[in-house]
Amino acid sequence: MGKGKLAKFAEMAENPLVVECPMAATMQEFALRGKWHEAFFHNHNPIVLELGCGRGEYTVGLGKQFPDKNFIGVDIKGARMWTGAKEALQAKMENVGFLRTNIEFIQRFFAPNEVSEIWLTFSDPQMKKVTKRLTSTYFLERYRQFLTDGGLVHLKTDSNFLFTYTEELLKVNHIGPEVKTRNLYGSVPAPQGKEHIIQLASAIQTYYESMWRGRGIDIKYLCFKLQQDIPLVEPDVEIPIDEYRSYSREKRSGCEKHL
């Protein structure tokens, strides 16, 4: 491990906005579960998660735009998360936090009805394994263990595969999307009464979003309510893979490798 990463991990360990629990698989009980409002944020504002937050651009950006909500970025890669965590600390943001852990165990960190919304920003589409997709029933069932009934899930992606898969999953489960577009920055008008959601989705651009847009790839966006009382099934449909994702992210983008 390089000295740069070691220094970042050391800073993360001292950052009061960061909670680290990389060994969630062996965790017996998480102290903040059900207590994020009182013990971490010290308020009762709604909690919003960004799962797979990377550098935390959305977590920090939303925190700045909405001081009346609390935002938690979740990822296992601490060297990337360091960027957003450091920015939030320097800005003295009191409504932003970061949780370093595996998303597969996310239900262990939050109590029922503790979270109001979830953002999935440029998640790996996981074209080979359904249960690794962050919009699969595998994960939606976990989200329902802590998301409020009818809480919003936002998907923002470059991947036609992941977008189409999620679209088909909603269709087979009779879940009508609140907003759906295959070109977030195109000229298609927002659905009436949903303009604010489109504005929110397009207000912040992540590192990877800028990269994909620079390559001429349209950004897709989908927002839906996740209800507690409906059974969920997987769609039985063949979806064309994203051909441009054949190689590593750095190689296919022509960009240098980043933490």
Confirm whether 236 is a catalytic residue.
no
Rounded to a whole number of angstroms, the CA Rg of the chain reads 18
Amino acid at 80: R
- Tell me if 56 sits within 8 A of 81, measured CB to CB: yes
Q: The tokens of 193 are what?
A: 């009464």
Q: The tokens of 99 are what?
A: 């949780």
Q: What is the DSSP secondary structure assignment for residue 64, as one 8-state letter?
A: H
Please tell me which residue in 68, 75, 124, 236 is annotated as part of the active site. Answer: 124
Instruction: Report angle CA 210, 215, 220 to the nearest 5 degrees.
Output: 65
Instruction: Report angle CA 203, 206, 211 to the nearest 5 degrees.
Output: 120
4 exposure class (CB count in 10 Å sphere: 0-12, 13-18, 19+): exposed
Q: What is the DSSP secondary structure assignment for residue 229, as one 8-state letter?
A: S
The residues that are catalytic are 124
